[in-house]
Structure 1
Amino acid sequence: MSGLRVVPAWRHGQERLYVCGADGRSVAWYDRDSSRVNLIAEDREEAVLRALAPFLTGHVTVGPPPLPTPVEMARLALHPDDDLAPNRPGEALHIALEREALTPRRLRSDARYRALTAERAVGEALDGLEGAGWRVLHSVPLPGGARIHHLLIGPGGLFCVSTLAVRRHRVRIADPLVTVGRGEPAPLLRTLRSDASRASFALTAEVRPVLALAGTGAADPEVAPPPRDVRVLRESELGSLARLGGQLKPADVEALHALARDRHTWRRV
């Protein structure tokens, strides 16, 4: 018995089969898409191939892992406390509500809970684009207490996505003011443009603003005239962004995502 076991895992939407020793450490992994077995412990090649035999299809190449790219090296050097990639949609709201430990009744009546529900819905829709070559960061902190709800990076460029909870309410947009139901008009488009401009400065790349309306039962937004340079999309329409392309190559997407996920990138904007 070799003592090796095969553990499936997913990385960037692709399946990998890791071969682990008795101590739990990986000694190799098999990439199905590239048909390559990457050996960390080259002296265990025969045992690794025996363990993987039921999973191998067709011809496979065997060799040491490829050298990490500069983007991968930067990611590996990033301290976990400075990595924004694990942030959940509405991360800042999650933390604030958990600290206050509100009762269920008070939680449902808190406007931040409705905002959190909306950010979760929009975040889930954007996360669904990753299979089409897009990357998403949620709740990106900016100096002064502001934050970008979602930063979308992909073949069609970069987008600063702000979420607005509009469940069962009428929405009126008169640039830069946005009115939800009977609430007071707020200059949300001005704030959104400012956040997108700060992101452009931080990433040295054009970042376009998107206002995402989250919630069911709302009438079509009243927009007159259409806001300058801001896309206004319903939560269900966010998938249309996946059809955009021709702006960034996959390597550019990964490089910008690596830069954006570093908390230090945003401290001087």
Structure 2
Amino acid sequence: MHGLKVLPSGRPGRGRLYVSLPDGRTVAWYDRLAKRISILSDDRCDAVLAALRPYLSGDWTIGPPPVPTPAELRRLYLPPDRDLAPNRPGETLLGELAHGAPGGSRTRHRMRRRLLALQRTGAELDLLEATDWRAVHDVPLPGLGLLDHLLIGPPGVFALRTVPGRRQRAQVGDLLLTVGRADPGPDPRWIRRAAARAARALASTVTPALTLTDASRVDVAPTLRDVLVLQPPTLTTTLRAIPPTLKPPDVEALFTLARTRTTWTPEP
């Protein structure tokens, strides 16, 4: 069996590794937490093991998969070009910078600063993914642009927009966000619209959230009650303290829907 591809689910080093045929059909997957290889066809066993060999360590088991849930069935037949789960934080910016971003040096500097902020937030979200949370990055929202992070966990679904704090004071109001002496930006309004769009797509409540990275101080208007304001040093603690509303199967079902590109950009 030739041409098998190994593709990750979720952030590198976490979740599952899927072994797929060239046409995108999954033939097996390796659950790195359970240390188990689930294979759909015994006649492909040797080829699957050869493809996964670089990723295997310690003791592991192999056998037929457990009876899949409907969400897992949808994920098994998700073609790679429709899967958003492998996206890294700032995936689009990474590509633009790697292939020569348009604009001058100041524009590229702002892009790199924003990329670092996205990666900082992504590193914090990685800490949550080991405990029944799932994240999707660079989610396309037609008419709005890209949602930086969509986070799904026991407390619910969160739409996150990351803003670089630039080691300056940040002021978050009902409509505008100001960092230092820069012109105010409409980030609170934007993230509300993005969360509403995500809620319609997922048929689930979605909480809008702003993440301020490396701000020297963050002042939040007392009237701002519908947008969650987070900072990386306390991001995971704040989110884990929210009472749970979703069970693990609900989290996985929403993650399967969220990672599917056609959920956000339906095909004509």
SS in 2 for 1:132: coil
| Counterpart position of 2:247 | 249
Instruction: Identify which range, 64-73 or 200-209, moves more after superposition.
Output: 64-73
Q: Name the CA shift for 1:122/1:69 in 2 (closer, same or farther; >3 Å).
A: same
- Does the aligned pair in 2 maintain the 1:89–1:120 contact within 8 Å? yes
Alignment partner of 1:211 is 2:207: no
TM-score where L is the length of structure 1: 0.75
Unpaired segments ≥5 residues, structure 2: 1-7, 18-26, 50-57
Q: Name the CA shift for 1:106/1:205 in 2 (closer, same or farther; >3 Å).
A: same
1:32 and 1:238 map into 2 onto residues whose CA distance is 24
| Counterpart position of 1:153 | 152
| Counterpart position of 2:228 | 231
1:41 Cα deviation from its structure 2 partner: 3.5
| Counterpart position of 1:82 | 82
- Does the aligned pair in 2 maintain the 1:156–1:245 contact within 8 Å? yes
Q: Name the CA shift for 1:79/1:11 in 2 (closer, same or farther; >3 Å).
A: closer
Q: Name the CA shift for 1:203/1:101 in 2 (closer, same or farther; >3 Å).
A: closer
- Does the aligned pair in 2 maintain the 1:28–1:41 contact within 8 Å? no
Alignment partner of 1:41 is 2:42: yes
- Does the aligned pair in 1 maintain the 2:165–2:216 contact within 8 Å? no
SS in 2 for 1:128: helix
Alignment partner of 1:131 is 2:117: no
Amino acid at match of 1:83: D
- Does the aligned pair in 1 maintain the 2:15–2:31 contact within 8 Å? no
Amino acid at match of 1:165: P
Aligned residues: 238
1:106 Cα deviation from its structure 2 partner: 3.1
Give deviations 1:104-128, integer Å, cap 9, x for gaps: x937962111111100000110121
Structure of higher CA gyration radius: 1
Give deviations 1:152-184, integer Å, cap 9, x for gaps: 001000000110000211111222111111101
Map 1:1-269 to 2 at 5 A. Answer: 13=14, 33=34, 41=42, 55=59, 64-100=64-100, 106=105, 110-144=109-143, 146-215=145-214, 218-240=215-237, 241-267=239-265
TM-score where L is the length of structure 2: 0.75
The alignment's C-alpha RMSD in Å is 3.6
Q: Name the CA shift for 1:173/1:244 in 2 (closer, same or farther; >3 Å).
A: closer
1:134 and 1:30 map into 2 onto residues whose CA distance is 15
2:72 and 2:136 map into 1 onto residues whose CA distance is 17
Runs of 4 or more, structure 1, over 4 Å off, are: 10-16, 26-34, 36-40
Unpaired segments ≥5 residues, structure 1: 1-9, 17-25, 49-53
1:237 Cα deviation from its structure 2 partner: 1.4
